[in-house]
Amino acid sequence: MSNAIKVFFSYSHKDEVLRDELATHLSMMKRQGVIEAWHDREISAGREWANAIDDNLNAADIILLLVSANFLASDYCYDIEMQRAMERHEAREARVIPIILKPVDWSNAPFAKLQALPKNVKPVTTWQDKDEAFLNVVQGIRRVVEEMAKSKTSSTASETTTLVIPSGELSLRQRRRLEEQHNSLQQQYDLVSTKLGKLRQAYLIETDTARKFQLEKQIQESETELHRLDQQLEEIEQKLV
């Protein structure tokens, strides 16, 4: 299990039943040893709960924000867990995935720029079949897990190779060029991310079916572009290490 992707649940205790359902749907990945999932109900007796949460939040590879009115109203979820999660996401230390459990206005939240699940950010509880909604969520999480596992494998291979390659392989000029490329890509990433956040906000409030279809297509295109830029940034960062 040492290579398993660590998954952290950030949620309101009022949504515990939905959290348990999601955890159940993630059981196959846990059985396969692909992920290790943790939430605060796993804190053992006698341990300080705040420290346990901090330790697991800071060690997580993926942080799931289980979004609802309860989550947004919780000072601990919003001001502590979510803020720390976003700090780690911005530092590229972890991936934050918002899971929209119930209808709520989250358009101005710091995580609004991120790709949320289920598809079309339709809240889990509004699906006719809730199991289908959770299946869609789990499929999205699995894709991220596979990406991260592949990245970890590449990083490990890169580190192994570095042991036999003389230091200073990149010339100063090459390093500067890579840094310039990285800065340019980062600017593009930020612009697309901002655009995506606005498109999602527009989709949430749009009532015209035709316009919603157009927005959905634009959202998908922006998500694809964001993913491409993220991969390019990661490749350059690996070269600069």
Per-residue pLDDT tens, the chain, 241 aa: give them.
Answer: 457 889 999 999 999 999 999 999 999 988 888 898 877 665 544 445 567 778 888 888 999 999 999 999 999 899 989 999 999 998 888 999 999 999 999 988 999 988 899 988 899 999 999 999 999 999 999 998 888 887 766 555 554 444 443 445 667 777 778 777 888 888 888 888 888 788 887 888 888 888 888 888 888 888 888 788 788 878 887 777 6
Q: Which two tokens stand for residue 37?
A: 């999932």
The residue whose two tokens read 């494998």 is 153
Which structural domains are found in the chain, ordered by start? Answer: 5-148 (3.40.50.10140), 168-240 (1.20.58)
CA atoms within 13 A on the CB side of 98: 29
Give yes or no for a contact between 238 and 154, defined as CB atoms under 8 angstroms apart: yes
What whole-number distance in Å separates Cα of residue 94 and Cα of residue 58?
Answer: 9
CA atoms within 13 A on the CB side of 228: 8
Q: Which two tokens stand for residue 213?
A: 């279809």
State the Cα torsion 217-221-222-225 to the nearest 10°.
170
What whole-number distance in Å separates Cα of residue 195 and Cα of residue 189?
Answer: 10
The 3-state DSSP class for residue 9 equals strand
Listed residue (39, 76, 75, 90) closest to 60, CA to CA: 39
Whether pTM exceeds 0.85? no
